[in-house]
Structure 1
Amino acid sequence: MSRMAWFMPASLALLFGALMLAGGVPLMMLAVGAVAFGVTIMVQPQRGLLLFCLIAPAIPWMTLTLGIRITLSEALLALTWLGVFWQWLMGRLPPLPTGSTERAMLRLLTWSIVPLIAGQFMVQAEGIGPVNWVRWLLNVSVLFLVPLLTPDQRARERLLVCLLLGYLVLVSLSLGLFAVSRDASAMIALLSKLNYARPDAIQEIFLAELTRMPSPWVHPNSTGGALLLGVPVAMFYGVAHQGWRRWLGLAVALGGAAGIVLSGSRGALLCLGVLIAGLAIKRVPLAGRTLAIGALLAAMMLVFYPPAQKRLASLFSSNDVSTGVRFEEYKHFPEAVARYPLGLGFKADTPSTGNGVYGISNLWLNYWYKLGLPGMLFFIGVTVAWWREVRGLGDISRVTPANAMRIGTVGAMLAALSTGFIDHYYSFTQVLMALFWLIMAISLQTARHAPTRS
């Protein structure tokens, strides 16, 4: 019997014995369960990615303390990568994908080392730059995990089902709680039990927005951003399938659209409307009907739902706080980037207001702010490379199982990028940016494995 054959069992036996002596049977059983879960992901890292797709949309910022505080979603990504490395050692997985989009992303990741180092010296803050950088890498790495772990249609189908189930939990929880309580603060107790960080900030956000639908994404704009990624994917998934899959897709699409309206995320609602209008112009089936029904429902909301009236009126008000802050951000942006010529880095989050420094509510300019001008240009390079790979959609006047996911994921990405002109939450918001790169990766996979390429 080789040394390696008995070394691992003996080590685990000693570990579990020590834990039982130190903490009793409950601690030992917890450790056994954790080890079994970890071994399962190491052997089958695909399961780690599937669990991420299930958990990330539903409870994105539930945290664990593993030496540092990290979200459960990010912990799953880290464990999945450990499984990938192990499978590489065993020779069971191909190397990293080498498509043009992935190469462009590698250039962005390489450049990020420069603002990481610069920010450590130029930014006075209590954050730990290298830790925040690693967490950013984990969120972005989904772009590489999807092609590695979903090489065929069956694997991609499982991933989509898990993603939509996660979104179903999100819309059911958010809409259900809002329908029962009609009070955003009702979500606070649940998020506290899920060990969300900064409970004081969560309470402040919910108490300030009592009439807007609460969700595990906390801020209404983050809620709108998450739902904007899921609604187009769910709609086309439902249209292209039959049976329970159709009901799953349509439930998420309709519930997600209602969630965008009730969250009061004006950017998400506007960009969803623009996407549907664009699909109607392209004569995509049901798009015109959806646009007409959506306009009718929106009109009814404005007539019978006072918070919607107030939210719409704020668009045309000279006293709208969020609009005023955005104008101030653009006004002070040259000063901000001059202060950090190599980027703010990862030691601190992009500030909103305070200490004379403003953030910026723009996806591309926020990359400039965080990673310097080269970082923004590298990000643009990633999106250009992505578009060159996915733009040949062919004839979309008929939606079939072969092209539905391609239309849905590309549409979701275009809607998300459209919101970049008025908000920044897809750039460095933890977990939400992972969903952004996840949808991009799925769109690339569906384009690369399409039956016909235009």
Structure 2
Amino acid sequence: MPIGKPVSLILGLLFGVLLWFLTPVQFMALAAGLVAALTLVRRPIWGLLVFAFLATSIPYTTLELGIRTTVSEAVLGVTWVGVIWQSFIGNTRGFLQWRPTERALIWLMLFSAVPFVVGMLTIHAEGNGPVNWVRWLMNLSLLFLVPLLLRTDRDRDQLVIALLLGNLAMLLLSVFMFLKSRNAMSMIPILTALKYAHPEAVQDIFSANYQRMASPWVHPNLTGGVLVLFIPMALLYGWTRAGIRRALGLAVAILGCAGLLLSISRGAIVSLVLVLLWMTYKRVPYTGRILGLGVIFAVALVMFYPPLQERLMTIFSASNASTEVRFSEYSKFPDAMARYPLGIGFKVDPPVPDSGLVGISNLWLNYIYKIGIPGLLLFIAVTVLWWREVRPTGVITHITEQNALWLGCIAGVLAALLTGFFDHYFSFTFVLIGLFWLLMGLSLQQVRLHPVILGPVSVRKELQP
């Protein structure tokens, strides 16, 4: 008997039973979800594209699948199911190479099992440690999806477009709502409709400083973090393309700079300026002019937006409230290290409830807080190995379609790492770290695909008389 007949009978029986217990609307939603999931399993690259758009536009929209998770991470999970199936039938053989960066990341993922177990045994607080651990590992795994799924220039271009479209949608919504009301609280009904979890936390964040632009990333510093991650890519992508792609890239870059200033994320602003100065040092064409135009744009915005004036005037002031909190966190951090030498694991985020300790607003120290000093050393090893492979070894005198994505990803990841000295979000914040590792994977793939164009050989040739 052909296999199609029993499969059809089983599916017919299953849907009949479901229709008996579910309302027509629930049944249609379930059927549509199943069809979408099967489509993504068959074409996992579509899952990566959907993740890229959702993760940048509505990152924390949730759904209930026995456990509560974000829609973007659910799509990522289905994408991995598709990758495993494609691997089973032999369609991914040879695409993933275990080079030093990948091996170091695997060691980081394996070691994280130790603080996970320790945290489950020693941290007495409510929290779903196993789920949080798996979600963190899945976010890191995006570095491996790049070589497995992005096999052609067209695939990579589609991914960049999905990322930029998601950012554009997020920026249009955020900037429009903020300019309309000048109050971050106006975003709350929209996020409620999008089924954001913990509405009380959203309310607290927006009410704490309603004059900072709200966005689907909720916290203004998170908004600043994701913008500095993508502004360099958007600028260089739009710079080297034509038509609608050029308009898309430049729109995201310009709106991103406006959103960055309106979110008043000090660490993100400083990090982006430092990256632009580094690009100027590398003689990337026109970066000096871009930096100058950015300063003019920022001054104009500051002149017409007093809250931004107040925020920037206290950017390095020790009397600033957030600065005082950070100094307090640093002074108490040795106590946390002494109490949790292997970290607190994944059951809860710092600080542990009823411990008398505080959290830490630093990417690097947050690794120690969560998975101990060995975890931090492994993360540093991954970043050092990544940098050794992708770094420019000389001046960059030309920006082309071939090197724009490489340089944009490098600049974005560097900006994210620099924000780590001011905030902790790129360490264990779900979805955001997934985008971080995705860009790291893209930069590695670009330098491996175009070693002659991007590597030391081309630089030396350009420097020859």
TM-score normalised by L of structure 2: 0.95
Residue by residue over 1:286-343, the C-alpha shift from the partner in whole angstroms, topping out at 9 and shown as x without a partner, is 2111111111222223333201111012224443111111111111111101111111
Q: In 2, are the aligned partners of 1:57 and 1:170 still within 8 Å (CA)?
A: yes
What is the aligned partner in structure 1 of residue 436 from structure 2? 436
Give yes or no for the alignment of 1:174 onto 2:190.
Answer: no
* Closer, same or farther: CA 280–354 of 1 in aligned 2, 3 Å: farther
Q: Distance in 2 between matches of 1:134 and 1:194?
A: 24
Give yes or no for the alignment of 1:164 onto 2:164.
Answer: yes
- Greater mean deviation of Cα atoms: 279-288 or 228-237: 279-288
What is the aligned partner in structure 1 of residue 362 from structure 2? 362
* Closer, same or farther: CA 352–302 of 1 in aligned 2, 3 Å: farther
Q: Distance in 2 between matches of 1:342 and 1:112?
A: 10
Residue by residue over 1:363-387, the C-alpha shift from the partner in whole angstroms, topping out at 9 and shown as x without a partner, is 1111111011110000011101111
Q: Distance in 1 between matches of 2:69 and 2:40?
A: 18
Read off the aligned partner of 1:174 and give its amino acid letter. S
Residue by residue over 1:381-405, the C-alpha shift from the partner in whole angstroms, topping out at 9 and shown as x without a partner, is 1101111110146551111111111
Q: In 2, are the aligned partners of 1:393 and 1:407 still within 8 Å (CA)?
A: no
Read off the aligned partner of 1:9 and give its amino acid letter. S
Alignment of 1:246-395 (within 5 A): 246-351=246-351, 355-392=355-392, 395=395
What is the aligned partner in structure 2 of residue 66 from structure 1? 65
* Closer, same or farther: CA 152–437 of 1 in aligned 2, 3 Å: same
Quote the offset at 1:353 in angstroms: 9.0
Q: Unaligned regions of 5+ residues in structure 2, if any?
A: 457-465
Runs of 4+ more than 6 Å apart: none
* Closer, same or farther: CA 353–18 of 1 in aligned 2, 3 Å: closer
What is the aligned partner in structure 2 of residue 114 from structure 1? 114
TM-score normalised by L of structure 1: 0.97
| Cα-Cα RMSD | 1.5
3-state DSSP of counterpart to 2:63: strand
Read off the aligned partner of 2:48 and give its amino acid letter. L
What is the aligned partner in structure 2 of residue 99 from structure 1? 99
Identity %: 50
3-state DSSP of counterpart to 1:64: strand
Quote the offset at 1:9 in angstroms: 2.2
Q: In 2, are the aligned partners of 1:352 and 1:360 still within 8 Å (CA)?
A: no
Alignment of 1:117-136 (within 5 A): 117-136=117-136
Quote the offset at 1:8 in angstroms: 2.8
Read off the aligned partner of 2:77 and give its amino acid letter. A
* Closer, same or farther: CA 210–24 of 1 in aligned 2, 3 Å: closer
Quote the offset at 1:97 in angstroms: 3.3
3-state DSSP of counterpart to 1:197: coil
Q: Distance in 1 between matches of 2:422 and 2:27?
A: 51
Q: Distance in 2 between matches of 1:369 and 1:355?
A: 13
Q: Distance in 2 between matches of 1:143 and 1:426?
A: 15
Q: In 1, are the aligned partners of 2:282 and 2:395 still within 8 Å (CA)?
A: no
Residue by residue over 1:105-153, the C-alpha shift from the partner in whole angstroms, topping out at 9 and shown as x without a partner, is 0000000000000001111111021111011111111111111100221
Q: In 1, are the aligned partners of 2:234 and 2:249 still within 8 Å (CA)?
A: yes
